[in-house]
Structure 1
Amino acid sequence: MRAADGFTGRANSTLTSGDPGVPIPVALITVEGFAREHGIKPTAHVVKGSPHEQAIEAAGWRVDLDHPGGAESQVMTGPLEKFAAGVAVSRDLPGWWDMTAGSEVTTAQRHVLGSGGNVCFASLTEGGTVTAAVRGAVVEDVLHVARLAVRPSHRRQGLARRLMGELAGWGLEQGATTCVLQVAEHNEAAIRLYEDLGCTEHHRYRYWVPAVS
């Protein structure tokens, strides 16, 4: 069970990939209690089509169709060596945070994006302005990619592809061999980019919430 003052769905939901040790309806009551304690919306992070999803639906929960990022996301994976080009330098710039978290950065945002022992704040700049940004974090041999963003005025110039290549190079230097990332199912442009880089769909997940709040 995770709570981060409402910043991102994953950081404010209960992961349901393991055995809770109690019947699912009992586990969901615990999820609701945890959410009340931390002032967040009770939410379950559920792999689509899994036995847990069927049990959660039977317990009276529903897919969160109002989730800001969309109701369903793909998890994609791919080998870094296929698209590595250059090596990103980690720069914790104010402009990086503006691009990825907004102009007023909270303590929760800094914790979610900045915690961990091996994190890279990669960006591209032009005239002192951050034009593209992404976060990478290496755990064992996996590079987790998140918060990829390109300034609207600089889109369709290949910046996302370039930045992903540099982040992959950084990941290889840190001992990673594979990347993993999440992308909303409706974000077709991003999915095409990741497919071009050699990534394929591993699974999908959805957020579930109580049918009656």
Structure 2
Amino acid sequence: MRAADGFTGRANSTLTCGDPGMSVPRALITVQGFAREHGIKPTAHVVRGSAHEQAIGAAGWRVDLDHPGGAESQVMTGPLEKFADGVAESRDLPGWWDMTAGSEVTAAQRHVLGSGGNVCFASLTENGTVTAAVRGAVVEDVLHVARLAVRPSHRRGGLARRLMGQLAGWGLEKGATTCVLQVAEHNAAAIRLYEELGCTEHHRYRYWVPAVS
């Protein structure tokens, strides 16, 4: 069970992989209690098509069709060596935070995006302005990629591909061999980019919430 003042779905949901040690209905009651305690929406992070998803649906929960990122996301993986190009420099710039978290950064946002031993705040700049940004974090031999963003005025110029190549190079230097990332099912442009970099779909997940709040 995770809570981070409402910042991102993953950081404010209960991951439903593995045995909860109790019945699913009872576990979901615990999830709701945790959510009330932390002032967040009770949410279950569920792999699509899993036994847990069937049990959660049977317990009276529903897919969160109102989730800001869309009802469903896919997790993609791929080998870093296929698209590594250069090495990203980690720079904790105000412009990086502006693009990935918003103009007024909260303590929860800094914790979610900044915690961990091997974290990279990668960006591209033009005349002192951040034009593209992405977060990378290496855990064991996996580079976790998140918050890729390109300034609207600079899109369709290859910046996302260039930045991903540099982040992959950074990940290789940190001992990673594979990347993992998550993308909303409706984000066709991002999915196409990741496929061109050699990433393939691993699984999909959805957020479930109580049918009656």
Fold match, TM over 0.5?
Answer: yes
Compute the displacement of 1:146 (Å): 0.1
Compute the displacement of 1:193 (Å): 0.0
- Name the % identity: 92
Compute the displacement of 1:164 (Å): 0.0
1:67-123 C-alpha deviation (Å, 9 max, x unpaired): 000000000000000000000000000000000000000000000000001000000
Superposed counterparts of 1:45-64, under 5 Å: 45-64=45-64
2:196, 2:184 → 1: CA distance?
17
Structure 2 spans left out of the alignment, 5+ residues: none
Counterpart of 2:7 in 1: which secondary structure? coil
Q: Which residue of 2 aligns with 1:122?
A: 122
Compute the displacement of 1:128 (Å): 0.2
2:102, 2:74 → 1: CA distance?
24
1:141-177 C-alpha deviation (Å, 9 max, x unpaired): 0000000000000000000000000000000000000
1:10-46 C-alpha deviation (Å, 9 max, x unpaired): 0000000010010000000000000000000000000
1:105, 1:191 → 2: CA distance?
28
Structure 1 spans left out of the alignment, 5+ residues: none
1:21, 1:146 → 2: CA distance?
31
| Residue-pair matches, total | 213
TM-score (structure 1 length as normaliser): 1.00
1:130, 1:162 → 2: CA distance?
14
Compute the displacement of 1:138 (Å): 0.1
Q: Which residue of 2 aligns with 1:37?
A: 37
1:4, 1:138 → 2: CA distance?
21
Counterpart check, 1:137 vs 2:137: yes
Compute the displacement of 1:210 (Å): 0.1
Compute the displacement of 1:207 (Å): 0.1
